[in-house]
Amino acid sequence: MTANSTDTRRYSDEIWIGKLSMGASNPVRVQSMTNTNTLDTEACVAQAIRIIEAGGELVRLTAQGVREAENLKHIKAELTQRGYGDTPLVADIHFNPEAAEVAAQFVEKVRINPGNFVKSIKSSSDYSDEEFEQERLLLREKFIRFLAICKQHNTAVRIGVNHGSLSERMMNRYGDTPLGMVESCMEMLRFCREVDFKHVVISLKSSNTRLMVNAVRLLVERMDAENYHFPLHLGVTEAGDGEDGRIKSAVGIGSLLVDGIGDTIRVSLSEAPENEIPVAFAILQATRSRITKTEYISCPGCGRTLFDLQSVIAQIKARTNHLTGLKIGIMGCIVNGPGEMADADYGYVGAAAGKVSLYKKQQCVEKNIPAEQAVEKLVELIKASGDWVEKE
Ligand code: SF4
């Protein structure tokens, strides 16, 4: 597919991360990352459980050295003991191929950063062609050795390129640009293909939403051209906290999801990691990438509004927000209401003062119901149509 398709998902290969499938037609997976000390088993386990209970499907932990990588074994064992062993763990590695090799034996996926997987052979970015090739071969050797260990243990790999940590070599050739991020990634993908390593997911992240979106779109074009279909992990790094962090994440991740791009997402907030999970699901819902709750299509209200919009929305949500996958339109008047909620499954529309009409799809099925009965009538309509389930 092209990156600009609005109603189809980019084709990606299905890969496995432990017992979790990703890519192809699998749901876009939601993940988060602990911020505890990886040597503190109990703290990591407790936080991982909070992430999983919130709906996280993968949990990433940093492993800055071999000791931390080794402790992943204890964290995995404790999670398994407490009944959370099916959720894959991901080790996050920077600067330390040895830690990556150890982690690959204990967790289901290892993220490496091509920008720091091997030490640069130079301290300046002034590389000759020979030096560029010399460092590429060094990276190839270490990475292929790591892939062999991953293959042996059925461990998946994320190639995670960050804008802020491109290698000196890539900076020399391509500058601090989306192209540099893409070239860094493509080089690693060619190594994967060379040894037929398939369980790979890719991310290109930046704290700059425009740069991140442009880099991922460019990567998709380049992968299409070389017939690569690896799944993509989306995220905006250092998005911040509160409303700013949520909006920034929604803009960056959401722009790509509406293009049909993305197989797993992580919202990076400067908050407790479990707070990221509902935001991730909300972004997936808003982009209609993964529907997990009822969607309400409600107008903002204006001088034509025929009822107390906010209180009616609250009443309808209280009765229906346990349903999954329905779209319910709530419109203040008949003028724009039915047209604006054209793809809703059910509609609640102001018809006259104190009167409401109910819609099923685009058909008006009950006219001029007294407003005080209308919410219950809407529930009855959903029940009669077979779309109701009782609250658990
Ligand atoms: S649907 Fe009617 S009440 Fe709501 S904003 Fe539009 S014109 Fe106003």
CA 125 to ligand 1 center in whole angstroms = 59
The average confidence (pLDDT) of the chain is: 93
What is the tens place of the pLDDT at every residue in 10-36? Answer: 999 999 999 999 999 999 999 999 999
The band of 343, judged by pLDDT with boundaries at 50, 70 and 90, is confident
In the prediction, which pLDDT does 43 show? Answer: 98
The predicted structure's pLDDT at residue 381: 97
The pLDDT of residue 98: 95
Closest ligand 1 atom number to CA of residue 340: 1
Asked whether residue 40 carries a pLDDT value surpassing 70, the answer given is: yes
pLDDT confidence of 334, banded at 50, 70, 90?
A: confident
Q: What is the pLDDT of residues 289-302, one digit of tens each?
A: 999 999 999 999 99
| Strand partners for 157 | 110, 200
CA–CA gap between residue 344 and residue 374 (Å, rounded):
17
Task: Please list, in sequence order, all residues whose beta carbon lies within 8 angstroms of the beta carbon of residue 84, skipping any fewer than 6 positions away.
Answer: 48, 49, 52
Q: Which two tokens stand for residue 349?
A: 């529309």
Q: How many angstroms is it from 215 CA to the middle of ligand 1?
A: 40
pTM (whole model) above 0.95:
no
CA nearest ligand 1 atom 5, residue: 301
As a whole number, mean pLDDT of residues 258-265 equals 97
Probe target for ligand 1 pocket from 296, 335, 348, 357, with the most ligand atoms within 8 Å of CB: 335
Name the 3-class secondary structure at 170: helix
| Percentage of the chain modeled with pLDDT above 90 | 86
Q: What is the pLDDT of residue 337?
A: 65
- What domains can be seen in the chain, in order of their start residue? 15-286 (3.20.20.20), 295-384 (3.30.413.10)
Q: Which contacts (CB < 8 Å, 24+ apart) does range 191-197 have?
A: 191/139, 191/140, 191/143, 191/144, 191/147, 192/147, 192/157, 192/159, 193/228, 194/144, 195/144, 195/147, 195/148, 195/151, 197/147, 197/150, 197/151, 197/157
Measured in degrees and rounded to the nearest 5, phi and psi for residue 12 equal -135, 155
**Ligand 1 residue neighbourhood (C-beta within 6 Å):** 299-302, 304-305, 331-333, 335-337
pLDDT (0 to 100) of residue 391:
83
Q: What is the pLDDT of residue 7?
A: 60
Q: What is the pLDDT of residue 378?
A: 97
**Selected residue with higher pLDDT from 338 and 222:** 222
Bridge pairing between strands 355-360 and 346-352 = antiparallel
* Residue 322 CA to its chain's centroid (Å): 23
For range 311-328, the mean pLDDT: 94
- Provide the percentage of residues in the chain whose pLDDT is more than 70: 97
| Ligand 1 midpoint to CA 357 (Å) | 14
Q: What is the DSSP string of 28-82?
A: PEEEEE--S-TT-HHHHHHHHHHHHHTT-SEEEEE--SHHHHHHHHHHHHHHHHT
pLDDT digits (tens, 9 = 90+) for 145-185: 999 999 999 999 999 999 988 998 998 899 889 999 999 99
pLDDT exceeds cutoff 80 at 126: yes
Q: Residue 202's closest CA among 186, 218, 213?
A: 186
pLDDT band at 1 (very low <50, low <70, confident <90, very high): very low
Residue 27 per-residue DSSP state: P
Pairing status of strand 295-298 against strand 264-266: unpaired
Task: Output the CA 300–ligand 1 centroid distance in Å.
Answer: 7
What pLDDT score does 6 carry?
A: 43
Q: What is the pLDDT of residue 125?
A: 66
The residue whose C-alpha atom lies closest to atom 2 belonging to ligand 1 is 333
Output the pLDDT for position 392.
76
- How close is the Cα of 301 to the center of ligand 1, in Å? 5
Q: Residue 3's pLDDT is what? A: 37
pLDDT of residue 150: 98
Residue nearest to atom 8 of ligand 1 (CA): 302
123 or 327: whose pLDDT is higher?
327
pLDDT of residue 383: 96
Read off the tokens for 128: 């000759």
The pLDDT of residue 346 is 95
How much is the pLDDT for 368? Answer: 95
